[in-house]
Structures are given as structure tokens and as C-alpha cells.
Amino acid sequence: MTSSDRTVWDAIVIGGGHNGLICATLLAKGRRNVLLLEANAEMGGAARTEEFFPGFRDSTAHVLNRLHPEVVKALDLEELGLDLLRGASGSTFAPSVVLSKDGAPLTLHGAYGETLTGASAAEQAAWKDLRVQLLRYAGVLKPFLSRRPPEFGSRSPGGLAALGQAALAMKRLGREDMRDFLRVLLMNVHDLLDEQLSDDRLKGLLAFDAVLGSHLGPRSPTSLLGLYYRLAGEIGGAPGAQVVPKGGMGAVIATIRAAAEHAGVALCTGASVAKIVVESGRAVGLALASGEEIHADTIVSAVNPTTTLLTLVGAPLLDTGLVRKVKNIRMKGDVAKLNLALDGVPDFPGVAAQDLHGRLVIAPSPDHVERAFNPAKYGEFSPEPVMEITLPSLTDPSLAPQDGCILSANVQYAPYALKEGWETGKPKFLAAIMAQLEAHAPGIGRLARHAELLTPADIEVRYLMPGGHWHHGELQADQMLFSRPVSGWSGYDTPIERLYLAGAGSHPGGGISGLPGLNAARRILAARAER
Amino acid sequence: MNISTLKPSPTQVWQIAQSHFRTLRADTPFQPRIDAAAKTNEWYNWSGYRAPHSLWDEELEYFAIRSQAALFDISPMTKYRIEGPEAEAFCNRLTLRDVTRLKPGRVHYTAWCDDQGFVLDDGTLFRLSPDRFRLCCQGRHLPWLLDSAIGFTVRIGEETEQVAGLALQGPTSFAVLRDAGFAGIERLKPFDLADFAHESGAVTISRTGFTGDLGYELFVERELALPLWDRLMVAGQLHGIRPIGYAALDRARIEAGLIVANADFTAAQQAVRADRQRLPYEIGLGFMVDADKGHFNGRRAILDARAGKKLRYVLVGLEIEGNIPAEHAIVYHKKNREVGLVSAAIWAPTAKKSVAIASLRRPFGDLILDDLWVEIYAMRELRYERVMKRARIVPRPFIRLERRSATPPADF
Amino acid sequence: MKTWDVIVIGGGHNGLVNACYLQRAGLDVLVVEKNDWVGGAASSRELTPGFLYSNCSYVCSLFRPEIMRDLELPRFGLQVIAYEGGAVLTQDGDYLGNYRDHDAHRREFARFSKRDAEAYDRYARDVTRQCRFIQPLLMRTAPDPTSLKPRDLGELLYLGKKFAGLTAEEMALTLRFWTISISDFLDEYFETDVIKANFSISGIIGTALGPMSPGTAYVLLHHYMGEVDGSVGAWGYARGGMGAVTRALAASFQASGGTIRTGAEVEKVCVKSGKAKGVVFAGGEEIYGKLIVSNADVKRTFLKLVEEKELPDIFLRRVKNFKIRGSSGKVNIALDSMPEFPALPKDSPCLRGDLHFTDTVERMERAYDDWKAGRWSVDPFLDMMIPTTIDPTMAAPGKHFMSCFVQYAPPKVEGRDWTDADRDAFAETVISQIADYSPGFRDRIVHMEVRTPRELEAEVGLTEGNIFQGELTFDQLLFNRPVPGFAQYRSPVNGLYICGSSTHPGGGVMGAPGRNAAKEILRDLARSDHHMSPAHDVI
């Protein structure tokens, strides 16, 4: 890779997160000579597993619920050893348990609550109906995921096909369902839940899932889309399913990495890119932080779109209107990550032992989630945060020393720009989280040996994610599809010729789906064929 | 007396600053002199300023431009100060022309576009020193300039109110300046600029203008504005200097074939109807586009449109038979097919021709040049006299005056 | 016994507009109104001697000029006095003024930020472009996107063509407008808090949303649309209070031969074999009509006036799910002298417009948080005006009537009904906020009328006291308003129509729902609608 020969690499992919790896692999499979550069010493981005306390390791992403089947297939991940159906407890999908401070928990089993325990019979019936409805409606939006978004004006065949498929899927719903679909499309999740359910725990969980990772409360109009996005994901062909992967997220990344190596991608870690070299409007190579320059026919950036365009390319080479749009992408994270090193498995009263392998959620009611959201609007953290918890070491004992246990939690809401500053705010926020945990797992405080709390500001630094936003840009209606990352440039292209985007900042967004990487690779291969 | 009682309270300070609702049209720094010269009391709103439509006699004011020296207050022009080590690079990326070729002490006429290549405004860029520029234009663009500055080491400030401006135009304008004591003024070539001592400060004089005639533009701090006016009026007495209003200037500029934003084209940021936006090639500013200079705003869209033959309009100069001004007349091909619209037209008093600036829908005006007609509706005593006149596409300006560019200028 | 051609339930402005058009089409129309006066929420009442109150609706907004012309409202006494300005008073003793004059406006903004002053043109252009796209839809019946009827398809095609006529940039902006919050939208143009607060106002008035809620950018459009065709005074005071609007409508109606019966509360719409036959009054009296039109909101109409068994389940479910949320209250105040606002110059035109005291988006959003928790806002958002600065008919010289629209006020206080003590405490938040900006304000108060959602519902019959008869979120706009499948003013009951703000295009004293409903009714009766002006062109 030290060659200065301009033709050595067909493509260089910047960023070794899962999307970068997937995109690089597919380009290599398309007979391109591909180099992938990762700034960190390890591949995987936010999905990489790191030691946060001697003997304790965890990754920031901890649940797999949307790795797309086309990705699994295109990369032959199953052949390479990925077994998605074998989740935490060895054979089934991971359950979601809604913890309750002073009562029994409620548990969704199977693929997003195929069965529900801990609820009244009436509620179970209501949930059954709602679940079917949610999955059907989410299904209408599915055709959009694994394609370039439809674009205005250009009438790209792929985009039109997706629109056509969606229209057909909508028609197939039948008239009254289609009407309801159109009504609820941009609605808030809170209202929909109130219309159909009555158990606060169940509603709390759904509300939490709808807003997890975004700067919205359950009462915010359009928040239902978040739940659709979640349910448009599937694992092993089961919509809405989730697994805590065997061997942890690290195993998933290792498999994808193996696919990349297998396909012949040259992987290079510890290579920090300083600049994308542009000549007469065309990307021709990269300048590394080390000062070295590498040339390539095509540059693919699987890092954040703002970083790519404003830092690596630089505003002066772009048009002002685009610079404005990029700067206006909302990407201030609201989720903090807690890694807790424990001396033993904590006791969550009422939760069955096998369910501890699943996802434990503290979100007592939609109103509670909404109340937790309020302070985040003003740069304050929530005094009663809501969170989803996993205990990854139960699935992969190698993550913790013997008798030790890891608690991994995504905690919402923790605004990126805390008014008082995270330096003084962090201990206070950690105390609030621990108090919440203590209330749901009495005695957990005594087991805690070490707590690592990553605020969005920390996540920004550690994973080079501006705003610490795990979607690389709010996944809200106005930043989806043709508006992602910005309108006019939603199809992985950029105004710089032969520079492409392939990260979660592009359509369809974040979560470990691999779709931005997949779609981008297809786009790049097609564009190359056109040349 | 206690000093603190003299200091206005915050409320008082605000109330002074808030007085604009009482005087909706602001005064320029020259207003006392303009008001004294205003015999007709015909005013119009120029960017929020009370500006004279005419001062004493619209026709004679025009002839002051062409035969004597005319003084026109251009203070309402929007002015931006651009300075810093990357000011040149910034201007180069902002505007269409190659700013690296604009030497210090020079001015050029330029334009800038949005991402779609639509013209946001045209104006003059003054290079006051290697890293100091002044941009003069009609519209307001501060957010655009500031956002365009992201990634450049450059400071941008709006200085419309602080800097007063005068246009001194006409054959005797050089003599006026010379006699006013601006030593060395004879060395200024067209589009040159230089600083000259004035009172306690300086006045920046450029050999520029909007009349197609010999002329200068003078910029000065607002505090020194009135003495500058007086200095010129005294020196110009024997050279026939006259203050003028916009109507006279407008005639001169049409004769010179110069276009005005929001009169001859709609500035993109004001265009409520998106189809009214124009690319530089569609309003006769294609000559500014420098495809070789590196990135500039709208480059991709403009070059794509040019390459893909997606240009929809062309702006042309028309010479129309007869003597009836064709203002806002519809242009026809073969008398029946509507192909465009006249945006400005006059009976040119010096050229002695009926001339017009028109926008035509390509290929008319571009590939199809002949058999063009304008349909003039002339309101005469409550009746439209409708006439169809033949129009011929001619180069602009409609009148070429050697004295405009002769250096040193002749002493008329 | 007489059978009316049409009985209109409710004499609000939309009921009256509807009745006027039907009467002028040659039908014999009766308007029945439960109160002793007509006007619904657009009324003027002398609640204390010498002071005329616009006690609910307080501003003539967006009233469609086509309707004013058709119904000859100026001839029947309607005079609209345009706002001359408006202001947001700031906590540091200054204010941001809004002026009609473009340049004064710019200079005023420049006091806070030169950048923002010059950002206004692009903001205005973008908002105007969107309004131009949406405004023509106001006077059209929304198509049913699931229908294959030629008319619906034609209308969908019209929408599609209009949309296709936009540039790619405009389309993207249109879609953003439906989904983005007013706060995020403004962040893309302006940097100054008070300027953003100033523009946020139109994004939240009348809704149970805060300025940071997605979808509020659309609400802004709803408030701006009236100005597209340049109708001067799209926003203004009706001389004599808002009752002047409905008085003129009533006069126009009666002049064309219509009949109004006040003090007649409808208890039930009689339905026989799926067809509406008449109405029963509270006293038990029954009258008959061939057609019944309800000006009441959709919930009141179908959950209170019509028996459940007459309605299909799916329709009932959707009506129940329709969101009509009480979010605002009203404090009307009689003053014995003009209040002073030291921040404002005495000759400021802003005093003859709307004044506001929330100078940051955050304060407005926090006011909304209180509402979500089921409480009235501790630091409320006020839309305050003193119409008597320009209308001498509402109070004696030197005396003043002040109207304060207050947001947010929940329909129930922490889950229970409002009490009188709650009401007084609610009013106190308003008075104390004004008093912060107007020394001596309390001493000028002669009389005060406080309306919480409880009072609004009881008197005017607006469910939860919602001024728009239903939230203006996407799930309740166009073909979703009031409910999918019945967005064309008809109902599952033959001969029963709805014409209030619950229907497309929604609330405000606009008259469009009443007019559009009349058009549909005439269509069903195969009668001419030549007396109805087509919607003004937007070119």
C-alpha cells in the first residue's frame, strides 16, 4: 500500500466499521482491488469489543436485530460461521423483559413478542393484534431498505421500483388497513399505543424502542417511524427478532472481517485519514495523518458524512448550499453507554434465569419515557433515565473473569451538549443510572467493581462519531430516505466525482444492518459499469 | 454633575436604536445635500433608503451624464468587507470570475450563484489590497457569504451604513476630480482604484460606473461624506456638475446595455417561482464563468447545464425599428410565436435608437436570430396603440464612447 | 309539521358560512344554536358593562376573501382592521418588533443579528413557496387515496401534477415541512433566540405541540397561507370584536331568507333506517330536515348527537381516536386605562398588534412540558392584544379590552376536572407574566373573564376546548381529516354532513370548511354552485 502508483487500488474504503467492511468485501467480490483503512487498532467501529476494566470486555453495540439477510447472503456469513438463530440461550431469539420496580416483569418472547407473558389475557389479545398490524405496516416500508432511495426528478429505476413495490404492498393491505396505514404513518407512538393497549409496561417498552437512539419522545409526532424502523429489521427471516450474538458482537465483526479477508480486501488498521485528495472535482486519493498519500480510482467513505464532506474533503471544495445542508444534519446523540464490571450476576427480582440472556428494559410507561426526554431538549440529562440492559458475559463467558459479570446498558436521555458540561455532569448522571439500576436490581451497587460511562461526548471521541450519534444523524422523518444524509445527495454519491458514502449516515441509517454498505457497494459497482 | 446620569440607560440606548419604525426610509449620509437639490420631490425606495427618482429635471439630468458631470448617490448599495489571508481564495470560490487575476487596485464586475447555478446577484468586487476586498451589490447576502466562508480564514462584515458612495459620471468627471485636487487621478485606467486624501481620512476612487461613460465611483466613511460632496460641487461648478436621480441613470445604463438584478432577471434568493431563476449563461453573464479556475459555487450545475445543452434562455440586446420604447413588450418570432419578453427599453437619447434588453427562450436569440418582432402596447390618452415592430439582435452596449476608456481621460 | 331542506346544527362561523351558501342555492335553511347568540367561538359579548369582549376567538385570520365576497360580508357590516405590527418583549427589558415594512423589519432584526436580518429574505421565499403549493388545497375537497372513483383519481392527479411541478429542491423542502419541528426549521435560517421564538409562535398556536415537536413547521404554514394571494389584512381585528364576523354572516344569511333559532340545544340527530331525518332539542321538541349539517366537532357530532348503533364500528373507532386536545385557555381583561409597556415606545405600531412575552424557544417548549404533565404552564405562552387601541367600539375612550390567548392549558388538571381555584391560579400565571413587563398592570384591571378548556367546552361546545376542533398533525390533515374514508364532509349516515373545523382544511376563522361542505352538499343534491366563487388563482 505504500506504492505511489495511482492505479494500484481500485477503491479505498475509509472506516472499518461494519458498513465499511461490508462495502469493501462486496467491492472485492466484484473484482475490485480494495484497501480498507481503519484509524483504530481494531476493526469494528462501535461494534468492536474492548477491555474497559482488567478482565472485562464489552462492545458499544450489544444487540443484533437487523443484520440484513441480503448482507448475510452476499457475504456468505453463514458459511463463515455466523449462526444467527443461535442467540443467547442457545436456540431461540432473545426475549425483551420490561422490568418493573414493584411488580412482576412483562416479557416478550420469540421474535418481538410472538408470545407475551406477565400481562392480562385482554392485553395479550390486544398485543397480538397490534403486533400483526405493526409488522404488516413496517413490511410496507421494507422494500425501501435495501435500495438506493427514490430520488426526485431523476426517476431512477431502482427508486421507482421501491416506490412501486411499496404502493403495491400498501394496496395489498386492503382498503381500510391502507387508510389506517396512511393515518398512522407520521403519528406519534404514544397515541397509537393509547389507542390499542392498556398495560403501561408494554406501552413503555414499545415507546422506548420507538425512540431509542433518537432525539424524540414518544409524544413527538413521527416517533412511530422509529418503531417501524426497528420492526423492519429481521434476524434469520423473523421480523422484529433479536439475538445477543453468541460470542458477543465481537464474533459478528470477526465473521464479517473474515469475509473481507476471504474476498481479498487489504485491511489496514491504525491508519488515520487526514484528507481526501481532490483534483478538478474528482477524488483521486487520500492523505494519511502520517503524511503518506495513497491513490485510488474510487474513494468510499464509511465514516460520518459530516466528517467526510466538511473535514476530509473540506467546505471550500463544496457548494455553500450543500455545506449548509450538511451542517444542518441533526446528529447530537442522546444515548450513553454504560459498561459495568460486576462481581456476580445481579438479581433482577421476578426475571426468569433464561430471560437474563435477553434484553432487560427499564421504561415503566410511555409517560415516563417522555418525562425522561424533556430535560434532553434543554441540554440536561434525565434524572430518571430509561435504558436497555444486556448481560453479554452470560452468552460469552470469555468477556469477563470467572464469577464476574458484565452489564451493558444503553441509557437514554443523555444530551451530547450537556449544559453544565459532562465533566461535572457525568458523576451525577452515573449516580442517577445506578439509582435506577438499584431500584430494579437491588444490591447491584455492591456488586459493581467498575463502571465505565460513555456519554455521547465520549462516544464521539472514541469512535470518531460526530455528536456521538450512533446513527450518524438523527433517524427522523425529515432525515430519512431521499433526505439522508441530505436531499439531492441521498444515493451514496457525492458532488465529488468518485467519492461515495457508505456509512450509517446514509440511507437507510444505523443499527447493525449492513445496508448502507451493501447499497453503496452496489451503487459503486453500477456506476463503474456505466463508465 | 454625576457622569453616570449622562450615560443613557439600556432602555434609552435601545429606544434610539429602535427609531426605524418612525422613519421607514432611512437617509443616506448625503441626504442634506440631496434634499436641498430636490426640486421635484420625486422619491423611491432603494433598499430601504429614500432615494431620488429625479431631482430637478429628468431629461436634463440624463444629459448631465452624457454632456457634463452627474453626481449620483450610491450609498444604498449593499457593501461587504472581506478580509483575511484567504480572502482571495474565498472570493474565488464565491464568484464566477477568476479572482486570482484581479490585482490589488483593480475592480471587476462579477456574479455569484447558488448550488443549482442560479444567479444570486451581480456586483462589483474591489480589491483594495492583496487581502482586502469590498463587494458591492443590490441584494443582501450576509448569511450566504458567512456560510461560504466556512473553511476559509477570512472575516466578513456588512458596511452599507458606514460607507457612503457617490458615482460621478460624464465627460467632465475627470476634470472635476482633477480640479477638486485628487492628484494622480489621470492615471486611473478603467477598473483601476486608488485611495486619495480627503479631510482627515481618505476616499477610495475607482474608475467604474453604470453609465457606459467616462466616470468614477467614490467611497468614503460616512462622517466625511458631506465635505466630499461639497468638494466635488465646488470644483465641478464650471464643469457643469449636476446631482441626478435614478431615472436619468437608468436611461444611461440601458443605453450602455447593463443589466439590473430583479429588473432584468430575478435573483435566485428572491424567486418565489422557481422557474424564474436564471443561470449566468441565460442572462448574458456566461463570459464570467471560468471553468479552469478551480471550484466555485454552482460550478457543477453550470457546467452540466452548458454541456447538456440545458440552457433555457438567452439575454440579448435588441434594436427596434421606430422610436417607441418597447418596455415589457412581448417578443415574437415571425409575428406569431411568443419567444420572450423585454425587461428594459428606452428611446436612447444619445444613440438615437429604440433599444431594449430582452430575455428570449432558446433557441431563439441563440440559434434563431432573424424575423423577431416586438409587440408594443403604447398607452396614449387611455388607449393602447398597438404596434408590431421589427427587432434586430445587436451587441451591447448600444452606444460605445471612446472617452469611457481613454487614459488619461480627455479634458472636456 | 314543516320539513326544512337543511338544518345546520351550530351557529359558529363555519355553520353560518355553510348555511349562507345553501340558502343562496335556493334551499330553505334553518340554523339552530344552543346559545342565545350566534357566533360560536367567534363572538363579541358585553360581559361587564361598557366592555365588549372577543371572548374566544380574537383575531380575524385567514378568512377566505372568496367567501367574504360571495356572502357580501362588508355590506353586512364587517370591517377588518389589519395588524400594524407585533412584538416579543424580552426579559432584559428590550423587545423584538415585527413591522409590516420590509426595511424596518430588517433594521429591527439587525439590532439582534445582522446575519438574521439578511436571512429573512430566503426564509420568506421558502415559506412562501410552500404556502403557494398548499394554499390552493384549502378550497378543494381532499381526495380519498384509496378510492378509484374518477373524481378522487382526478384530484390525486391534480395533487401529483402540482407536486411534480416543483423542483427537486422544493419537493424535498415540502416533505421536510410536514415532518420537521418549527424549532429545527428555524435553526436552519436564524441564530438569535428571540427571533426564533418570534417565528415559532405560528408553529404552535392552537396545537397541543411544542415548538420542538416535529410537524409544527406545517402549523406555521397553516397560519401563513392566507397571505399568499396578498390579501391585506389576512390577520386583523374585526371592528366590534370577533362577533362582527358572525354577525355579518348571520345578517347575510337572514337577508337571503335564512332562519336562525337561538337558545335551541340539539340533543340528538334523528336517524331512521340509516338516514338523518331531523333533530331533537333538549326540551324534547323534534324538528325535521331533509339534510342535517353539523358544525359541531366530529366527536361531539358522532359520539353525542348520533346513536352508536347508526355508525359502523370502524368509523366509530376512528372518531374516538381523533385527537381533539385542549391545549389553550383565554383570559379576557377589562382595563380602566392603557397599560404601560416601558420597553415599547409609546408610538410603537407594535401596540396595535400582538404582543408576546416568551423570548426563547426553550421557554415555549417548557410551557408545553407542563401541559404534557397535565398542568397549566407556570410560564405560559401568551398571544396578547389590545384591540381597543384601534377599535373604539369595544370600550369607552381611555378604557381598554385586552385579549390574552394562553398556552398551554390541559383539558384536565392532572387527570381531574378543573376547579374554580385552578382557574384562578391559571389566570394568575397570566397576570403575573404581563405584570412583569407592565408595571402597575394589576391596578388597571376592572374585570376579568377566565376561560379554561372547561369553560370553552361548556359554552361553545368545543370538545376539550380545542380551538381547531382537532389537532393539525399529519395524521389528521387532508384525507385523514377528520377520519380516513370520511374526509369529504359526508358521514356514514345518509343526509348527515359535517362542516366544522374538524374537517379539511381545519381551524382558524377561515370559513373554508363550511364552504367546502356546502359545495359537496350541492353536488349531492345536483344543484348549481354558480354562486360560489372558485378558489382564487395562485399564479
Distance CA C461, CA C310 (A): 22
pLDDT of residue C225: 74
Contacts of C91 in chain B (CB under 8 A): none
Percent of chain B with pLDDT over 90: 94
pLDDT of residue B4: 45
Contact C480 A182 (CB under 8 A): yes
- Of the partner residues B10, B269, B271, the one whose CB lies closest to the CB of residue C93: B10
Q: Is the separation of the CB atoms in A36 and A268 below 8 Å? A: yes
The residue of chain C nearest to residue A153, with distances taken between CA atoms, is C168
Q: Does the beta carbon of B146 lie under 8 angstroms from any beta carbon of chain A?
A: no
Number of other CB atoms surrounding residue B22 within 10 Å: 11
Contacts of B144 in chain A (CB under 8 A): 320
Q: Furthest-apart CA pair in chain A: how many Å?
A: 70
Q: What is the pLDDT of residues C434-445, one digit of tens each?
A: 999 999 999 999
Q: What is the pLDDT of residues C210-231, one digit of tens each?
A: 999 999 999 888 888 766 555 5
Q: Furthest-apart CA pair in chain C: how many Å?
A: 71
Q: Is the separation of the CB atoms in B70 and B214 below 8 Å? A: no
> Which residues, including other chains, have CB under 8 Å from residue C402's CB and lie 6 or more apart?
C332, C333, C334, C335, C339, C384, C385, C386
Mutate to test the interface with C, among A133, A219, A222, A476 (most CBs of C within 10 A): A222
**Can you read off the three cell numbers belonging to residue B359?**
430575455
Bridge partners of residue C82, in order along the sequence: C236
pLDDT of residue C205: 93
Mean pLDDT, chain B, rounded, equals 95
pLDDT of residue B15: 73
Distance CA C262, CA C38 (A): 7
The answer to whether the peptide bond before residue A316 is cis (omega within 30 degrees of 0) is no
- Of the partner residues A183, A219, A378, the one whose CB lies closest to the CB of residue C475: A183
Q: CB-hemisphere CA count at 13 Å for B164?
A: 20
DSSP state, C143?
P
For C504, list phi and psi in degrees, rounded to 5.
-60, 140
Contacts of B295 in chain A (CB under 8 A): 281, 316-318
Report which residue type is found at B351: A
Dihedral sign, CA of B32, B38, B39, B44? Answer: negative
Distance CA C535, CA C524 (A): 20
Contacts of B142 in chain C (CB under 8 A): 114-115, 117-119
3-state secondary structure of C443: helix
pLDDT of residue A4: 46
Contact A315 B298 (CB under 8 A): no
pLDDT of residue B8: 67
Q: CB-hemisphere CA count at 13 Å for A114?
A: 12
Cβ-count burial B183-195 (b if 16+ within 10 Å, e if not): eebeebebbbbbe
**Can you read off the three cell numbers belonging to residue A48?**
468492536
Number of other CB atoms surrounding residue B252 within 10 Å: 30
Contacts of C318 in chain A (CB under 8 A): 183
Contact A378 C366 (CB under 8 A): yes
Distance CA A151, CA A481 (A): 9
Report which residue type is found at B281: Y
Residue B124 CA to its chain's centroid (Å)? 8
User: Which residues of chain C are modeled with pLDDT < 50?
Assistant: none
3-state secondary structure of A164: helix
- Of the partner residues C106, C111, C343, the one whose CB lies closest to the CB of residue B17: C111
Range 271-300 of B in CB contact (< 8 A) with A:
294-295, 297-300
The answer to whether the peptide bond before residue B143 is cis (omega within 30 degrees of 0) is no
Nearest one of B136, B161, B146, B158 to B17, comparing CA atoms: B161
Listed in order, the ranges of chain B carrying CATH 3.30.70.1400 are 78-158
Nearest-CA distance A151 → chain C (Å): 8
3-state secondary structure of A406: strand
Q: What is the pLDDT of residues C381-400, one digit of tens each?
A: 999 999 999 999 999 999 99
Nearest-CA distance C253 → chain A (Å): 37
Distance CA B51, CA B35 (A): 10
**Can you read off the three cell numbers belonging to residue B142?**
450576509
Q: Does the beta carbon of B16 lie under 8 angstroms from any beta carbon of chain C?
A: no
Q: Cα C160–C65–C487 angle (5° rounding)?
A: 45
The residue of chain C nearest to residue A189, with distances taken between CA atoms, is C475
Listed in order, the ranges of chain B carrying CATH 3.30.1360.120 are 23-77+162-255, 268-394
List chains adjacent to chain B, taking adjacency as at least 3 C-beta pairs closer than 8 Å.
A, C
Distance CA A186, CA A222 (A): 4
Overall CATH class of domain B268-394: alpha beta
CATH of domain B78-158: 3.30.70.1400
* DSSP line for B89-103: HHHHHHBSS-GGGS-
Q: Hey, where are the domains in chain A?
A: 9-48+67-79+248-329+474-530, 121-199+210-233
Nearest-CA distance C94 → chain A (Å): 24
Distance CA C177, CA C169 (A): 12
pLDDT of residue A305: 98
pLDDT of residue A47: 87
A9-48+67-79+248-329+474-530 has CATH 1.10.10.10 classification: no
For the question of an ipTM over 0.85, the answer is yes
Q: Cα B380–B385–B389 angle (5° rounding)?
A: 130
Nearest-CA distance C475 → chain A (Å): 5
Distance CA B398, CA A411 (A): 72
> Which residues, including other chains, have CB under 8 Å from residue C283's CB and lie 6 or more apart?
none
Contact C176 A478 (CB under 8 A): yes
Report which residue type is found at A67: L
Contacts of A321 in chain B (CB under 8 A): 114-116
* DSSP line for C202-219: HHHTTSS--TTSBTHHHH
Mutate to test the interface with B, among C92, C125, C134 (most CBs of B within 10 A): C125
Which CA distances in Å does C400 have to A376, B1, C56, C437? 42, 42, 17, 17
Show pLDDT as tens, one digit a residue, over chain A (531 residues). 444 444 589 999 999 999 999 999 999 999 999 999 999 999 999 888 889 999 999 988 888 999 999 999 999 999 998 877 654 454 578 999 999 988 899 999 999 999 999 999 999 999 999 999 999 999 999 989 999 988 776 555 666 777 788 888 888 899 999 999 999 999 999 999 999 999 999 999 999 999 999 999 999 999 999 999 999 999 888 999 998 877 778 889 999 999 999 999 999 999 999 999 999 999 999 999 999 999 999 999 999 999 999 999 999 999 999 999 999 999 999 999 999 999 999 999 999 999 999 999 999 999 999 999 999 999 999 999 999 999 999 988 889 999 999 999 999 999 999 999 999 999 999 999 999 999 999 999 999 999 999 999 999 999 999 999 989 999 999 999 999 999 999 999 999 999 999 999 999 999 999 999 999 999 999 998 888
Long-range contacts, C98-105 (Cβ 8 Å, 24+): C98/C198, C98/C350, C98/C353, C99/B21, C99/C349, C99/C350, C100/C349, C101/B21, C101/B24, C102/B48, C103/B20, C103/B24, C103/B25, C103/B26, C103/B45, C103/B47, C103/B48, C104/B20, C104/B21, C104/B24, C104/B48
Contacts of C230 in chain B (CB under 8 A): none
Q: What is the pLDDT of residues A193-252, one digit of tens each?
A: 999 999 999 999 999 999 999 999 999 999 999 999 999 999 888 999 998 877 778 889
3-state secondary structure of A480: coil
Helical residues (DSSP H) of A264-377, grouped into ranges: 305-306, 320-327, 366-377
Q: What is the pLDDT of residues B249-303, one digit of tens each?
A: 999 999 999 999 999 999 999 999 999 999 999 999 999 999 999 999 999 999 9
The answer to whether the peptide bond before residue C408 is cis (omega within 30 degrees of 0) is yes
Q: Which helix (H) or strand (E) holds A337?
A: strand A335-342
CATH of domain B23-77+162-255: 3.30.1360.120
